[in-house]
Structure 1
Amino acid sequence: MTQVDTAQNPQGGAGHRDTGRSGGGRRAGIGRAIHGISRPGPWKRGPVLAATAVLLGLLLLLHARVTGAGGLGSLVETFLAWLGLGIPLLLVAALRRRSASAVVALLLPVTVWLYLFGGLLGDKSHAGGDLTVVQHNVGDTNPDPIGTARDLAASGADVLALVELTPQARGTYERALAKAYPHHVVRGTVGLWSRLPLSDARPVDVKMDAGPLADTKPTDTKSAYDRALHATVATDRGPLAVYVAHLGSVRLMPRGGFWTDGRDRNAQALGEAIAAEGNERVVLLGDLNGTADDRALAGITSRLRSAQVEAGNGFGFSWPAKFPMVRIDQILVKGVKPESSWVLPATDSDHLPVAAKISW
């Protein structure tokens, strides 16, 4: 048997192994170079993220043009502020993807969102005020109306508006609030209590539908469909026209989408009543079942200003009480100046009370 002593030929063996390693290294280097050339740069990465950011910005900017069946436009505008949550989510995705184009594209939704809602982030309240007004949807299933009335009276309100009063609870509120508020008027499911004299109290026809989608039960009397009233408050600075309103609900229907027909009809009628108001000083207190951004309320918001927008701190969300997401309980004014606006602590209602101080 012939033996080969590899130790006598170290050059050959070592040279053979070195050649293999050198060839493998060159191939790896070439592969990395090819991969680096084929890999898109930061401006070409994340085209889908960039397009999504632009679409989000356009949706915020052009929300008034969103139309479609099922109240899609109203739904978008109800939760318009929450669309801003898409911005940090897209930013995190863009940074992970290292997409410069997506980061730059996010400037559009950021700019539009700040333009629409940036003013709500700070505290615009001022000290003072001639009159404190409070509005509360007390809830038709409120298990403790006495406690709710006690909390509202302790709020220091000079004028107190309650909506969603039931025939069963009305007497409870009237008795519990009688000492603090010697003047009051109730029409249907809405009422106004005041420390100051009231006059010219009358219902306001907001075209409430007593059909199957109405909020009240079919067994209720016709007066239960009175959902708005007007009264004049006599102040030492002159008369103040006060409207109390509870517009129809919006509903998610199994086949009809976001149903707003009743609310929209009510809003139009209420806007017409306010337009015909002769008093130059007006306050609207109500659950309008819509935000100030909702186009359906344009007939109202084009004539009245939001106390929360002008003198509040933050968004002032009022519903649902356990996790407020939207402000549908409104204090809107004309001819007076909001000095401050805030949300009161929760009662046993599914809405939070809202308050404002106004001055002449």
Structure 2
Amino acid sequence: MTQEYTAQSVTTDNEEHRPPSRSRARGLLDRLRRDPGIWRRGIILALLALLTAFLMILHAQIPNTIGNLGSLAETFLPWLGLVVPLVLVLGLVRRSATALIALLLPAIVWLNLFGGLITDKAGGGGDLMVATHNVNADNPDPEGTAADLAESGADVIALEELKAGAVETYEKGLAGTYKYHSVQGTVGLWSKYPLSATKPVDIRLGWVRAMRSTVATPQGPVAVYVAHLPSVRVKLHAGFTANQRDKSADALGEAIDDEPLERVILLGDLNGTMNDRALKAVTAQMRSTQGAAGDGYGFSWPASFPLARIDQIMVRGVEPTSSWSLPRTGSDHLPLAARVDLR
């Protein structure tokens, strides 16, 4: 009896002193042996996870020939990351090892593509603060919107979707802060510094929705472009209709490429994200301030629940130091702001 008791005590002591990690690992292996279905369950969830990963990896290969599906996918590409927590929860509920292992691939791909946007990359300093806002032609409170923008602290402000009847309201509301301004068609530029060589930019629409001006900053001249590219539509019978937007993006890219000044800033509503291949004529030669020095994703539309950053601040020849969204106004877009270093 004494020997049995001693042996039993030794066994108990060994189990008590066994490293917890080994005990948990052995317990997991025991559960796997008792439940072989853990590998067979969740096959559909695993396929969903793998499909999501391949869509993110191969998004550039999705053709635009049918309903501009490629551009549509790229516009909302970051939202594919929602599949990861969905599969994770369902995989745990289903107790599917297959689904949980397959989930690693889309999680890694998403973090590689968009993980850098989660962190706050904003720094201090900057010589010039710029802002852009699609004020919405149907804005019910243009006076309030002008007042909010005047209080933003921006040195240069670009406005898009200016309705002819509201231009005077914005001019009055911004006059006290911005001594210089120019309105070309439905876009305008307000500045604390002198403007020169201001002209409309032809983006092949037949009317003016883009402009260019030289801003005489204390650090020297900067070419500032303001653009409002045509809207896109998602229709059941036609898909993602964006042909006119794409043509205008090409024209805008050509104009910026021909710009003689080294320092260039583009402000506006481009109706497309930095991931959208259709904007490559512009995005290939400029940097997004949000991508370089932003805090989070900086989604701008719709203002009530932002899903995408279709409004942009892009630069060439200057260094972004910070980029952020301004508080909501009476528009269906959020205004955006950025600080850049011109030296």
Common fold by TM > 0.5: yes
Shift, 1:38, TM fit: 11
Q: Look up the match of 2:26.
A: none
Q: Aligned ranges for residues 239-254 of structure 1 at < 5 Å?
A: 239-254=221-236
Listed as ranges, the matches of 1:143-158 within 5 Å are 143-158=140-155
Residue number among 287, 295, 317 corresponding to 1:335 in the alignment = 317
Q: Paired residue for 2:55, among 56, 59, 81?
A: 59
Question: Of 73, 77, 95, which residue of structure 2 is paired with 1:76?
Answer: 73
Match of 1:292 in 2: 274
- Using the TM superposition, give the Cα deviation of residue 39 of structure 1 relative to its aligned residue in structure 2, in angstroms: 6.9
Displacement of 1:96 in angstroms is 1.7
**Aligned residue-pair number:** 310
Q: Determine the structure 1 residue equivalent to 2:17.
A: none
**Cα distance, 1:256 vs. partner?**
1.1
Q: CA deviation at 1:43?
A: 2.7
Alignment root-mean-square deviation, CA: 1.5
Q: Is it true that 1:47 corresponds to 2:43 in the alignment?
A: yes
Corresponding residue to 2:304 among 322, 325, 339 = 322
Task: Identify which range, 299-308 or 43-52, moves more after superposition.
Answer: 43-52
Pick the aligned partner of 1:175 from 168, 172, 176.
Answer: 172
Determine whether 1:137 maps to 2:134. yes
Q: CA deviation at 1:41?
A: 3.5
Q: Which moved more, 1:40-49 or 1:64-73?
A: 40-49
Cα distance in 1 between the residues matched to 2:69 and 2:141: 36
Map 1:226-241 onto structure 2 (within 5 A): 226-241=208-223
* CA distances 1:26-50 after superposition (whole Å, capped 9, x unpaired): xxxxxxxxxx999744233322221
Pairing partner for 1:104 from 101, 104, 107? 101
How far apart, CA to CA, are the structure 1 residues paired with 2:324 and 2:34? Answer: 57
The alpha-carbon deviation at position 254 of structure 1 amounts to 4.3
CA distance in 2, matches of 1:139, 1:178: 20
Code of the residue aligned with 1:46 in structure 2: it is G
Q: Indicate the larger mover: 96-105 or 163-172.
A: 96-105
SS at match of 1:184: strand
Q: Which one of the candidate residues 309, 315, 322 is aligned to 2:291?
A: 309
What is residue 255 of structure 1 aligned with on the other side?
237
One-letter identity of the residue aligned with 2:270 = L
Question: Deviation per CA, 1:107-148, whole angstroms, max 9, x where unpaired?
Answer: 111111011110010110111110100000000001111111
The amino acid that maps onto 1:42 is I
1:325 partner amino acid: L
3-state SS of 1:160 partner: strand
Please, which runs of 5 or more residues in structure 1 have no aligned partner?
Answer: 1-35, 211-224
Correspondence for 1:14: none
Name structure 2 gaps, 5 residues minimum: 1-31
Instruction: Report deviation, 1:174.
Output: 1.1
Q: Please report how far the alpha carbon of residue 73 of structure 1 lies from its aligned counterpart in structure 2 after TM superposition.
A: 0.9
- Map 1:211-222 onto structure 2 (within 5 A): none
Q: Give the TM-score, by structure 1 length.
A: 0.84
Distance in 2, matches of 1:186 and 1:92, equals: 52
Q: Describe the superposition over 1:174-216 as per-residue Cα deviations: whole angstroms up to 9, x where unpaired.
A: 12211211111111000000000011101100011x6xxxxxx
Cα distance change on mapping 1:150 and 1:38 into 2, 3 Å: closer
How far residue 102 of structure 1 moved from its aligned partner, in angstroms, is: 1.3
Residue 260 of structure 2: aligned partner: 278
Deviations 1:67-104 (A, max 9, x none): 14111111111111111111111111111222212111
Question: What's the counterpart of residue 20 of structure 2?
Answer: none
Residues 38/128 of structure 1: CA separation in 2 closer, same or farther (3 Å cut): closer
Instruction: Name the SS for the 2:78 alignment partner.
Output: helix
**Aligned equivalents of 2:184 and 2:168: distance in 1?**
13
Distance (whole Å) between structure 2 residues aligned to residue 358 and residue 96 of structure 1: 48
- SS at the partner of 1:202? strand
1:47 & 1:139 partners in 2: Cα distance? 47
- Secondary structure in 1 aligned to 2:38? coil
Please give the TM-score of this superposition, normalised by the length of structure 2. 0.88
The runs of at least 4 aligned residues of structure 1 exceeding 6 Å deviation read 36-39
Q: Describe the superposition over 1:266-317 as per-residue Cα deviations: whole angstroms up to 9, x where unpaired.
A: 1111011111111111000000000111111111111000000111110011
Match of 2:246 among 247, 258, 264: 264
CA spacing shift, 1:281–1:37, aligned 2, 3 Å = closer
Q: What residue in structure 1 maps to residue 331 of structure 2?
A: 349
Q: Name the SS of the counterpart of 1:326 in structure 2.
A: coil
